[in-house]
Amino acid sequence: MTKPLEGLTVLDLTHVLAGPYCSMTLCDLGAHVIKVERPVIGDDTRAFPPFTKGKSAYFAAINHGKKSIALDLKADADRAIFDRLLARADVILENYRPGVMERMGYGWDDLHAQYPRLIYGAVSGFGHTGPEAKRPAYDMVVQARGGVMSITGEKGREPVRVGASVGDIVAGMFLCQGVLAALVDRERTGLGRKVDVAMLDSQLAILEHAIAITSVTGTPPGPTGARHPSIAPFETFHASDGLFVIAAGNDVLFEKLCVALNLPLADDARFATNPARVENARLLKRLI
């Protein structure tokens, strides 16, 4: 198969995870990604263990397939090289704090005036507008501020960070979606767009059941361990030889589960529908 983004060039000024996750996806889809790093230091993740043959496996996992160049965008000679790269680029990505690119002369307004077809993708903790735009953020900061940590973990225990870096990764995925949409839009209009993604907004966007519950009841949900608060049975169970998962997401699957376990519960009014099973989730778990 040919790759759908073959022939497109992406200038990637991003570092650590959110931005590089976006450029990794674009690269996997066939784009020619040129990663621009700071001289000597490079991307922070080059120092993240584990290491193999003296190089970071973490860095390699997120930056595979990309080309790399070290440029100091405060040095005239390096800026001249960067300007030549800009002239052939379709997309530029950055995840600096808002205002940094403008101070270097590479903000959206400057670039759009000079390269009207260029798509500008930015990801930051709190976006380029609003009262908190200038604040820095890391994955765990937005997991906490966005509320994901408040529903992760077990009841009565401290909030828990999601094991994967969803604060960064989800923002990178939304940035990728925005860039792809801007590429489609450019086919119609001939013009590039600015795609501004906030990590905090991205976290709120994935709180599907928490937002629904809070909107209706006025009370935000707390942690429920592995259990889903809106579906039952949908959690972990202990067996004699270890833990396993049951996820019966509708009435038909619950009937099949009852047959498989030889449990006469499918016609019991307490468990016949999903709302009833959720209401009686603790009893249902004990019976299973």
Catalytic residue among 15, 64, 228, 238: 228
228 an active-site residue? Answer: yes
Nearest-10 Cα torsion for 12, 205, 61, 127: 30
> Nearest to residue 233, comparing CAs of 171, 163, 176, 284?
284
Residues 204/147, Cβ–Cβ less than 8 Å: yes
Say if strands 9-12 and 91-94 run parallel, antiparallel, or are unpaired. Answer: parallel
Place of tokens 């400057």: 110
Enter the tokens of residue 77.
Answer: 């000679």
State how far the Cα of 134 lies from the Cα of 226, in Å rounded to an integer: 36
State how far the Cα of 90 lies from the Cα of 34, in Å rounded to an integer: 11
The 8-class DSSP code of residue 150 comes to G
Enter the tokens of residue 119.
Answer: 């798509």
Which residues participate in catalysis according to the annotation?
228
